[in-house]
Amino acid sequence: MCGIAGIFFKKAETNPTLGQALVDMLDGCQHRGLDSTGFALYENTFKGLRLRFIVDDDADATVARVKAALAEQGAKLVNEKREGASFVVEVKYDGEIRPFAYAMEHAAKLVSIGSALDIIKDVGTAHDLDRIYGIKSIAGSHGVGHVRLATESEVKPEAAHPFWATGFSDVAIVHNGQITNYWKMRRRLEARGFEFRTDNDSELIAVYLADKLAQGETLELALEQSVDDLDGVFSFLVSTKDGIGFAKDRLAAKPMVMFENDDLVAIASEEVSLNRLFPGRPLSTTEPAPGTFRTWSR
C-alpha cells in the first residue's frame, strides 16, 4: 500500500496554504498507511542551510554531538529548536555539501539538509504530525508527502518517508513500490564513494537522481533514464529546490492520478486526495500512462 502526494504552486515562491494542502491530501489517502506520515516542504524564507535530525531517547547527548560536529565542520550555528522527535538547526556553511552531510550523519540521524527543504516525519497520521509540528502553518512553494504502511522496517520516525538524497541538499523522494535491482544499483554508487544510511529503496532513488542532477543533467532527463534503469514496480515523486516531477514504471501497477490548472499541479495515489483541495467541485483528472515522466519548475 502506502500513499504519496505532491503539490506545486506555479505562480508564487511562497504560498500560505502549502502545509494545509499537504495535510489535507495525505489525510485523504491515510487509509493507505497508518503507521507513519511525512512531509518534504520547500520554504524559501532564510539564507543558509537547515538540518533536521531525529533525536533518540538520550536527546541531550544527541544535541551535544550535533553541535560538536557542526563546530568541527566549521558551520556557524544560527538557530536551533527541539520539536517532537526532531532537533533542527539553521547554519551558515560555505563548504562542500557531501562531506559535510556525511560527517553530520555520523553524529546523529540526519533527516534532511537544504537551503529550502525541510523534511518532517514521525509515527502517526497527518493530523498527529500537524498537532506536534504545526504543518498547516507552513508556507512555501511546493512539497511532497507520504503515508506509510510498514512492510520492510520498524515503525519509527527515521524509517518514515520522505527520504532525502543522502549527501545532497534539497532533493527528496516519496515512493510507492519496490525496486528489485536495489543492491546492484547501490553497489555501483557505493563504489563511487556514495554513502547510504538505510536499506530503503526510496533513499536509493533519491541519491540516483541527485547524482545525475549534480552531473549537469536536467530533472526531466534523469527521470527519463530512471524508467529504464530502475527495475520493479514504482510510482514516485521527486522534489528539488526548483520544482517537482514524477515517474512511473512500464507495468504501472502502482496508482497515480494528477490534476493541473493555471495555478497548481497536484499528484497523488488516489483521486480522493485531489478532491480534498477542491471540496464539492468536480475535477478533470488524468492518470499518467505507463512508463511516463514529467516535471514542473519555476
* 2 a catalytic residue: yes
CA dihedral sign of residues 149, 223, 139, 55? positive
Q: Indicate if the pLDDT at residue 156 is higher than 80.
A: no
Q: Hey, what's the cell of 177?
A: 513500490
Q: What is the pLDDT of residue 44?
A: 73
Q: How confident is the model at residue 152 (pLDDT cuts 50, 70, 90)?
A: low
- Provide the whole-model pTM: 0.95
Q: What is the pLDDT of residue 24?
A: 97
Q: How confident is the model at residue 33 (pLDDT cuts 50, 70, 90)?
A: confident
Q: Select which of 2, 22, 70, 119 is catalytic.
A: 2
List all residues 6 or more positions away from 215 whose beta carbon is below 8 Å from its beta carbon: none
Helices (H), 112-270: 126-133, 182-191, 201-214, 219-229
**107 φ, ψ to 5°?**
-85, -35
For residue range 230-260, list pLDDT tens digits in order: 999 999 999 999 999 999 999 988 999 999 9
- Calculate mean pLDDT across residues 210-227: 97
Q: How confident is the model at residue 292 (pLDDT cuts 50, 70, 90)?
A: very high
Q: How confident is the model at residue 167 (pLDDT cuts 50, 70, 90)?
A: very high
* 71 burial level (CB within 10 Å; 0-12, 13-18, 19+): exposed
Q: Indicate if the pLDDT at residue 136 is higher than 90.
A: yes
Helices (H), the chain: 18-28, 59-72, 97-107, 126-133, 182-191, 201-214, 219-229, 271-275
For residue range 223-233, list pLDDT tens digits in order: 999 999 999 99
Average pLDDT value over all residues in the chain: 93
Cell 471540496 locates to: 279
Asked whether 157 and 122 are in contact (CB, 8 A), the reply is yes
Q: Indicate if the pLDDT at residue 154 is higher than 80.
A: no
For residue range 52-110, list pLDDT tens digits in order: 999 977 889 999 999 999 999 999 999 999 999 999 999 999 999 999 999 999 999 99
Q: How confident is the model at residue 148 (pLDDT cuts 50, 70, 90)?
A: confident
Count Cα atoms within 13 angstroms, Cβ side, for 84.
24
Q: Indicate if the pLDDT at residue 189 is higher than 80.
A: yes
